[in-house]
Structure 1
């Protein structure tokens, strides 16, 4: 019996997130105040008292979700993961949990990632869409039909749920094609850009230098990384996979399948929301899931 700890990504945020933790835990308060100092603005004010719109700014969302997850992990006693993984942004949280990154370095990289992604979105206006009820292979086949517009698979969330990413025109056309092919729904998402697509190349180049300059330690357990869903313990390979993650799809379905194949029976989601618990249940019905949020 092995215990996997999983960490959510952008989209799990909610107004008031982390407030109770800040008010009731001295160590958590120290982490939050340290984060305010590192970021150069009081992110706690936005997390605790901001609106949904305030929290949707990429420069706020990504550090907020990271902080909520990591501070929960650090202040909950007796958490000993046998393996970790995170969905997109959540991979950074998972790397703090398995001690590859320090809290401070993890937060600095997430802040740089958020700013770089925001700039990439401004350079290339773009979007994403959720495709429901269509086989992954069929979605991939339709994406390949687009040669003059960028349309690629971005998030393999669970069987029958795949998010595509690309240019605004390409995604609009692809949604029509997906529905024609039998998708139950093909819905454009309210996101700032085409995450996990070639349109994030400017952000990848920007983040590459920051990751290269950051010290990655030897982990306490394997991290299953988004780019290929495989477990890694070599800090240099983990670094490269983290860089490639920005323009590559998140292979979450395959990640959970590989964790289960390697002995994971219990999955604990740490951070805001319960999205990943739901996805795990759709991928592996036998697995036990719970959340710390």
Structure 2
């Protein structure tokens, strides 16, 4: 059973999507449409920008979304998912690729989300850190014991958990987690404390935008970050998209659930191979591939 997964922030790279634009009429049409919808020339940044240009949240999120969704559309009849999931931002790509949200509304939502998150980052100084080589329960316990806001944010795979919160609280957590035996505890080069209570200021704007978006039943179940289980009900999908902003990404649990539910192969649609690597950490024998047109 084929599962398709869609990457999140961090998978971007210069010239992403350029090959699709130059070789597929449908891709060119959608990229040109995206420039019009967003009100700025995102294709110019994607195809000719520097790594620094692509790091800005308002650019990164729609750029990865566009690469992923347009790749899925160019695949055409070769894109036949039995189940899908997306890591954080990738959840929006998965929903558009499976027909639950239109391309235009999906892009508008992602842009709204990116700007709301960027604004929330500017209110309180926050950051994220990757913790390697500790059981999730130990990381959770130490975060709970500390003063300030610091919480688990991304359960990426067994032994790899990203924490998020106020700068000083995250720094203190890194000290304590290193003392507890973490192989590494490193601050990440991100713009803020994503998937933590510090994203609460972005929630109201995003909730309103999601509520006003037409979401229909996808062509196959989507395993959402908040629940790590298969969902098809549009109202539940909406609730989970809003909750995702301030809740952890349960990617470890999502991978385990997809495999338990019969996934035999995972295909990553979009830039990079991060998610394939995470599946291999769960089961080295699991078959993975990048989508190819």
Query: What does residue 42 of structure 2 align with?
Result: 43
**Does 1:143 find its partner at 2:143?**
yes
CA distance in 2, matches of 1:133, 1:240: 33
3-state secondary structure, aligned to 1:130: strand
Query: How large is the Cα RMSD of the aligned pairs?
Result: 0.7
- The alignment partner of 1:216 has SS state of coil
Please, which runs of 5 or more residues in structure 2 have no aligned partner?
none
Q: Given that residues 158 and 253 in structure 1 are in contact (C-alpha distance below 8 angstroms), is that contact kept between their aligned partners in structure 2?
A: yes
- Equivalent positions of 1:24-103 (< 5 A) are 24-77=23-76, 78-103=78-103
Report runs of 4+ in structure 1 exceeding 6 Å deviation. Answer: none
Which residue in the other structure is 2:185 paired with? 186
Aligned residue number for residue 13 of structure 1: 12
Q: Does 1:124 align with 2:115?
A: no
Q: How many residue pairs end up in the alignment?
A: 291
* Cα separation, 1, equivalents of 2:214 and 2:101: 7
Please say if residues 257 and 284 of structure 1, whose CA atoms lie closer than 8 Å, have aligned partners that are also in contact. Answer: no
Q: TM-score, normalised by structure 2?
A: 0.98
For 2:283 and 2:196, locate their aligned partners in 1 and report how far apart those are by CA, in whole Å: 27
- State the Cα distance separating 1:206 from its structure 2 match: 1.3
In 1, the alpha carbon distance for the partners of 2:41 and 2:24 equals 18
The separation in 2 between residues aligned to 1:97 and 1:40, in whole angstroms, is: 23
1:28 CA displacement: 0.3
> What is the alpha-carbon distance in structure 1 between the residues aligned to residue 201 and residue 288 of structure 2?
37
TM-score by length of 1: 0.98
1: CA distance, partners of 2:255 / 2:145? 29
Deviations 1:166-218 (A, max 9, x none): 00000010000010000010000000000000000011111000000010011
- For 1:177, the equivalent position in structure 2 comes to 176
Aligned to 1:229: 228
In 2, Cα distance between the equivalents of 1:120 and 1:284? 37
